[in-house]
Amino acid sequence: MSEINPDTYLARYASRTRGMTASEIRALFAVAERPEIAFLAGGMPYTAALDLEAVAEVTQGVIAENGAWALQYGGGQGMPELREALVGVMAAEGIAAHPDDVVVTAGGQQGLDLVAKLFCDPGDLIVAEGPSYVGALGAFASYEADVVHVPMDDDGLDTDALEATLAQLAHDRRPVKFLYTIPNHQNPAGSSLSSRRRERVVQLAEQFDLIIVEDNPYGLLDFKGELRPALLSLAPERVIYIGTLSKILSPGLRVGWVAATESVRDKLVLLKEAADLCQSNLTQAVAQRWFATQPWQAQVETFRGVYRERCDAMLGELAASFPAECRWTQPTGGFFVWVRLPHGLDAKQLLAKALRARVAYVPGAAFYADGGGGEELRLSFCFPPPERIREGVRRLAEVVHDEIAFAHALFGDQE
């Protein structure tokens, strides 16, 4: 029998993976996970700070008390008792919700995927911060939706720029499916949307009849425990809220959720069933029992302390050793610092030199759907210990200093 012709075979693919190549971030990880490299590239929470004995106890309890159930299929919307616990997590952020509003998903990522699947046909427009979460951009691209970025500053999404963009798109009769935003300790920028701007975003949503997809993985990881009003609280009928346990418990459980109005929720349950039938009962039950039996807020406080110390280490070293020509954000929570290089430096080209100097970061272009971000990069402080972070920042500072000196030697001091 003849082998199939690979070209014919590939020609059958629908256009859904058009333009998708092996994620640059993943490829980078393969190189950069060597132990000698200061890994400032990942978004992995520091799961070693979890109380693993407590997790073991919880898991054992689930199997001992409810094993046959935990190992069985579950319902498409998710375990009711877990949905109650997730509403409790939202309440800890000042959000009032009902377990009926919640659909359990495989991490926040599946929430993004299902919302994109529900709303987006090829060529549809989504408005998002620039830079934005690379996983969201991947999910949107997989439905061939286009992303229009709106710039950010230290107070998060620039609402004047948002208004101008929405007005221009309305003028051009280009309907917007939704605004995608991470208002708290944004990935990758590290900045948060100010309270005043939250009001403004909601006003603009009303003015332009806009749906908002609010992605909130880091809200509870404010270093001072400060809370800002969720967009969902300000405009419950307009906001589809995406939550996750990945940063306050464990990403290995793959438990996230979407909270939305009934009509959207019903459709998401159907899409969840079509996507993978149901969430794992076992990991749902572990999460549910965690919240029912463990001091989960104390665990969140532990995580906060870990990340605060690491962020301090990163910001301290950036101030001490980074060239004056660079700019970076001052996160008050979350996992990331966003760095802007001097004009003319290319963060992607610089990465090869950085890896030789044994430090890894993610070039900014990964966080833009439009080719932007060439002079920007993301540093993460979530995973390595403080001394390693300082070391990495020092190594990177040297690389950037060299690059600036080289540019000056080549082109002279043009200031």
Sole residue written with tokens 């405009």? 235
Query: Structure tokens of 264?
Result: 């959207």
Which CB sits closer to a second copy, 101 or 124?
Answer: 124
Rank residues 67 and 344 by Cβ distance to a second copy and give the closer one: 67
Is the Cβ–Cβ distance between 363 and 371 less than 8 Å? no
Q: Please, which residue, 86 or 326, has the CB nearer to a second copy?
A: 86
CB of 289 to a second copy, least distance (A): 13
Q: Under rule CB under 8 A, which residues in 70-99 are in contact with a second copy?
A: 70-76
In the complex with a second copy, which residue's Cβ is closer, 11 or 324?
11
- Identified binder of a second copy from the candidate list 28, 39, 90, 110, rule CB under 8 A: 110
Supply the minimum distance, in Å, between the C-beta of residue 75 and a second copy: 8
Stretches 135-143, 148-156, 190-198, 385-393: which one binds a second copy (CB under 8 A)? 135-143
CB 5 → a second copy: shortest distance, Å? 8
Compute the C-alpha angle 177/181/185, nearest 5°.
Answer: 175
- Exactly one of 185, 198, 238, 395 binds a second copy (CB under 8 A); that residue is 238
Give the one residue of 172, 237, 413, 415 binding a second copy; rule: CB under 8 A.
Answer: 237
Site track 152-181 with a second copy (rule: CB under 8 A), x = hit: -----------------------x-x----
In three-state form (DSSP H/G/I as H, E/B as E, the rest C), the secondary structure along the chain is CCCCCHHHHHHCCCHHHCCCCCCHHHHHHHHHCCCCCEECCCCCCCHHHCCHHHHHHHHHHHHHHHHHHHCCCCCCCCCHHHHHHHHHHHHHCCCCCCHHHEEEECHHHHHHHHHHHHHCCCCCEEEEEECCCHHHHHHHHHCCCEEEEEEEECCEECHHHHHHHHHHHHHCCCCEEEEEECCCCCCCCCCCCCHHHHHHHHHHHHHCCCCEEEECCCHHHECCCCCCCCHHHHCCCCEEEEEECCCCCCHHHCCEEEECCHHHHHHHHHHHHHHHCCCCHHHHHHHHHHHHHCCHHHHHHHHHHHHHHHHHHHHHHHHHHCCCCCEECCCCECCEEEEECCCCCCHHHHHHHHHHCCEECEEHHHHCCCCCCCCEEEEECCCCCHHHHHHHHHHHHHHHHHHHHHHHHHHCCCC
- Which of 26, 196, 224, 343 touches a second copy by CB under 8 A? 26
27 binds a second copy (CB under 8 A): no
With respect to a second copy, which residue has the nearer C-beta, 228 or 238?
238
Cβ neighbours of residue 227 closer than 8 Å, sequence gap 6 or more: 93, 94, 219
> Do the bridges between strand 212-215 and strand 176-181 make them parallel or antiparallel, or are there none, so unpaired?
parallel
Q: Compute how many residues bind a second copy; rule: CB under 8 A.
A: 93
Out of 35, 36, 121, 409, which residue is the one contacting a second copy (CB under 8 A)?
121
* 100 versus 276: smaller Cβ distance to a second copy: 276
Contact range with a second copy by CB under 8 A, out of 54-62, 225-233, 304-312, 401-409: 54-62
- Residue placing its CB nearer to a second copy in the complex, 266 or 346: 266
In the bound state with a second copy, the residue whose beta carbon lies nearer, of 102 and 202, is 202
* 250-289 residues near a second copy, rule: CB under 8 A: 250-254, 261, 263-264, 266-267, 269-271, 273-283, 286
Q: Rule CB under 8 A: say whether 196 interacts with a second copy.
A: no
Euclidean distance between CA atoms 74 and 63, whole angstroms: 15
Query: How far apart are the C-alpha atoms of 354 and 273, rounded to whole Å?
Result: 44
Pick between residue 113 and residue 222 the one whose CB is nearest to a second copy. Answer: 113
Asked whether position 324 contacts a second copy by CB under 8 A, the answer is no
Contacting residue, 4, 298, 409, 410, with a second copy by CB under 8 A: 4
Q: How far is the CB of 39 from a second copy (least distance, A)?
A: 13
Shortest reach from residue 306's CB to a second copy, in Å? 13
Q: Which one, 279 or 329, has the nearer CB to a second copy?
A: 279
Is residue 387 part of the contact set for a second copy (CB under 8 A)? no
Cβ closest to a second copy, residue 188 vs residue 339: 188
